[in-house]
Amino acid sequence: MLDVKAIRKNFPILDRKVYGKPLVYLDNAATSQKPHSVIQSLVDYYEGYNANVHRGVHALSMEATDKYEEARHKVARFIGAPKPESVIWTRNTSEAINLVAYTWAAANIKAGDEIVVSQMEHHSNLVPWQKVARDNGATLQVIPITKEGVLDPSQTDSFITRKTKLLAINQVSNSLGTINPVKSLTKKAHAFGAKVLIDGAQSVPHMPVDVKDLDCDFLAFSGHKMLGPTGIGALYVKPDVLEKMEPFLRGGEMVLEVWNDRATWNGLPMRFEAGTPNIADAIALGAAVDYLTALGMDNVREHEKQLTQYALSQLKQIEELDLFGPMDVSQRGGILPFHNSEVHPHDLGTYLDREGIAIRTGHHCTMPLMRAMGIVATARASLYIYNTEEEVDKLVAVLKDALRYFTDGTKRANRPG
């Protein structure tokens, strides 16, 4: 298990106060906090060996190139990728999914084909496919969910057919916490010759993920949700699929030879990385991966599972709250959405914020899911390696106060300040 006390010492931001109260950071699904080693790796790069990569003959450039490519190796190892060059740097999950939409999907999805997603996709794994479907004359199929917030098992199979060309699905839902059975779905989709893209934005930071085991064709994830900096993410593509993909962005460094009227492409992964890349943040993502690897992803998952179990047991005791997502923690990540029919989630979020507790409120970029659930928004607490039972207790206590405050008019009228 994790030594959370020791972990917390590595995160400088956890010492700060918000409105004079200790920060309780429970918005990890939006972005995680960063340990000192990640922040220091950015400083080390800019102070010690800042230079462009893949083009310099001088020492600094070679040092930067080595560190930048070493980070790619670390990320590849972290997700079990067969080769480092099957990992392409992107800005985030959204860009990684768009890369697939603008390259592989644009070239391979044909009229009459079907793209299958689920009802619980983040907009980033839905809106790009709407465009591909529209442009290429394909149809988007949406697997429905049950009241418990899992894929409807009685219907899922019927959505994956010989018409399916791509299954694009998240491994963990950011709005429900549901863990989807992506391995068996991948097997099913492959049996019909379809490709599979897994949105790993909420899984790669929180549990062991191995692309060889999942056998997916594409895996997209963001560095900033896994202790890394913003502005860096990755797309894994199965080597034989990547080999045949046309470039996404064109320009410097992604070419081999250029004439006035044409060009040939560089090898992998450079073919997909036009221009000066986000060197510092890629290196810092490597440092984040080092940190998570040292903890062990099995331990990370186990910590979150236990804390989620504890949080659910506490939240369930607040009768006025509706909870969403599976109640069995073996089927759920550390994401805790809740809702009260009388109090707007933004009001709850604002009240919690005044007590130093950071959560997210809104539709969480899953508007079609909210519509399917018959609500417009939820309040959502989301956990990570540095969160504790004491923080969950604080959330629950302040939440009870907030509900009393907003549903009892007299109390509200008398509240100081």
Please give the positions annotated as active site: 365
Residue whose C-alpha is closest to residue 64's, from 42, 85, 49, 48: 49
132: its two tokens: 């591909």
Nearer to ligand 7TS, 226 or 385 (CB): 226
Nearer to ligand 7TS, 62 or 127 (CB): 127
Nearer to ligand 7TS, 41 or 125 (CB): 125
Answer whether 64's CB lies under 8 Å from 50's CB: yes
Nearer to ligand 7TS, 339 or 360 (CB): 360
* Least CB distance to ligand 7TS at residue 267 (A): 27
* Least CB distance to ligand 7TS at residue 112 (A): 28
Task: Determine the Cα–Cα distance for residues 153 and 263; give it in Å rounded to an integer.
Answer: 49
- DSSP E strand boundaries for 69-183: 87-90, 114-118, 139-143, 164-170
> Is the C-alpha dihedral spanning 64, 240, 190, 123 positive or negative?
positive
* Least CB distance to ligand 7TS at residue 229 (A): 12
Could you give the C-alpha distances from 180 to 127, 149, 170, 233, 281, in angstroms and in order?
20, 10, 7, 22, 30
* Least CB distance to ligand 7TS at residue 58 (A): 34
Q: Which residues bind ligand 7TS (CB under 6 A)?
A: 29-30, 92-94, 122, 124-125, 170, 174, 199, 201-202, 222, 360, 364-365
Residue whose C-alpha is closest to residue 25's, from 337, 390, 357, 350: 357
Q: What is the 3-state secondary structure (H, E, C) of 279-315?
A: HHHHHHHHHHHHHHHHHCHHHHHHHHHHHHHHHHHHH
DSSP code for 60: H
* Least CB distance to ligand 7TS at residue 122 (A): 3
243: its two tokens: 């080999």
Nearer to ligand 7TS, 214 or 403 (CB): 214
Answer whether 138's CB lies under 8 Å from 165's CB: yes
How, if at all, do strands 17-18 and 21-22 pair?
Answer: antiparallel
* Least CB distance to ligand 7TS at residue 92 (A): 3
Q: What is the largest CA-CA distance in the chain?
A: 77
Could you tell me the end-to-end alpha-carbon distance of the chain, in angstroms, rounded to an integer? 43
* Least CB distance to ligand 7TS at residue 31 (A): 7
* Least CB distance to ligand 7TS at residue 321 (A): 20
Q: Which residue has the CB atom at the shortest distance from ligand 7TS?
A: 174
Burial (CB count <10 Å: 0-12, 13-18, 19+), residue 61: middle
Nearer to ligand 7TS, 94 or 136 (CB): 94
Residue whose C-alpha is closest to residue 204's, from 219, 182, 216: 219
Nearer to ligand 7TS, 93 or 141 (CB): 93
Question: Would you call the peptide bond into 269 cis, given omega within 30 degrees of 0 as the criterion?
Answer: yes
Q: Name the phi and psi angles at 253, rounded to 5.
A: 75, -15
Nearer to ligand 7TS, 197 or 280 (CB): 197
